[in-house]
Amino acid sequence: MNRRRRIYEGKAKVLYEGPEPGTLIQHFKDDATAFNNQKIDRIDGKGVLNNRISEFVFLRLNEIGIPNHFIRRLNMREQLIREVEIIPVEVVVRNIAAGSLSKRLGLEEGTALPRSVIEFYYKNDELDDPMVSEEHITAFGWANPQEIDDMMSLAIRVNDFLSGLFLGAGIRLVDFKIECGRLFEGDLMRIVVADEISPDSCRLWDIETNEKMDKDRFRREMGGMLEAYQEVAKRLGIMTQNERPVGSGPTLVQ
């Protein structure tokens, strides 16, 4: 396994060269980080759950024609994906005030927004992913206006679809982040959804109790992160029979 060429290692995933040109293998690690690596931990089994949840979401997106990089899951921790040129902009869609928006605008967490709001962040660990506007994105050449339009319409479609999907599972989609990439097919290029969609990249609240079922459990040291991710998987109908994501439970690394 280690003879494969490693293309890129991020905080929660590793990308390896794929079996054919134009493909990559996306490997989900158990590492959890928050606040730009200030908080680092290993949550045994998180990678397995995110691999499965992200597979489920991307398959559903494929079914309704939202273009993305997913080809198929290979094993418990890995999936085969199309190689894309990642646009260094994180697209966040928010339905309910939480996290950095609540802080920035003084909105109480849980306040419904008048409409869904899209924000952009420049993907740069050293700068802690600063929020940017379309002006910055075009001025610095990260994406052109057409690509920004494409990213926004993908993000809105993902939001509408995921909101309904999670609602059916008794979960409120508070906000989420996607990354997009340029997929080159011959002379054609299109913008597709890439990376992952999982409880690491979404805020998910139980519809009845508002209990957090996402990475905020880790960011805010609430505990029960793995159990919450398991519950999300269970409610989506994933990993029901005899499948356990292993592990001796989370260990806190100070």
In 3-state terms the chain splits into helix, strand, coil percentages (rounded to 5) of 30, 35, 35
The Cα–Cα gap between 109 and 95 comes to 11
- Report in angstroms how near the CB of residue 22 gets to ligand TMP at its nearest: 26
- What's the min distance (Å) between Cβ of 37 and ligand ASP? 6
Selected range binding ligand TMP among 59-67, 174-182, 234-242, 244-252, rule: CB under 6 A: 174-182
Per rule CB under 6 A, is residue 96 in the interface with ligand TMP?
no
CB of 242 to ligand ASP, least distance (A): 31
Question: Dihedral through CA 12, CA 9, CA 16, CA 23, nearest 10?
Answer: 80
Determine the size of the site formed for ligand ASP (CB under 6 A).
8
230 membership: H or E segment, kind and range:
helix 225-235
| Residue 108 amino acid letter | E
Interaction between residue 203 and ligand TMP (CB under 6 A): yes
With binding defined as CB under 6 A, does residue 210 bind ligand ASP?
A: no
At residue 2, the 3 state secondary structure works out as: coil
Q: Least Å distance between CB 33 and ligand ASP?
A: 4
Asked if 175 is part of the footprint of ligand TMP (rule: CB under 6 A), the reply reads yes
- Of residues 66, 67, 88, 100, which one binds ligand TMP by CB under 6 A? 100
> Shortest Cβ distance from residue 98 to ligand ASP (Å)?
12
Distances (CA, A) of 117 to 131, 205, 246: 13, 18, 38
54 near ligand TMP, rule: CB under 6 A: no
Which residue from 75, 89, 49 is spatially nearest to 193, judged by alpha carbons?
Answer: 89
Contact pattern from residue 112 through residue 131 relative to ligand TMP, giving x for each residue in contact according to CB under 6 A and a dash for the rest: -----------------x--
Among the listed ranges 28-36, 61-69, 155-163, 226-234, the one in contact with ligand ASP (CB under 6 A) is 28-36
Choice between 55 and 179, CB closer to ligand TMP: 179
Q: State both tokens at 243.
A: 């499948």
The Cα angle at residue 250 between residues 249 and 253, in degrees rounded to 5: 145
Task: Pick the binder of ligand TMP from 28, 58, 70, 176 (CB under 6 A).
Answer: 176
Nearest-angstrom CA–CA distance, 72 and 212: 29
Q: What angle do CA 58, 59, 64 make, to 5 degrees?
A: 95
Q: Count residues contacting ligand TMP (CB under 6 A)?
A: 12
Beta carbons of 46 and 13 less than 8 angstroms apart: no
Q: Does 29 bind ligand ASP (CB under 6 A)?
A: no
Q: How far is the CB of 179 from ligand ASP (least distance, A)?
A: 11
- Residue ranges in 100-129 that form contacts with ligand ASP under rule CB under 6 A: none
Query: Residue 240 CB: number of other CB atoms within 10 A?
Result: 9
Q: Please give the residue ranges that form the binding site for ligand ASP (CB under 6 A).
A: 11, 33-37, 215, 219
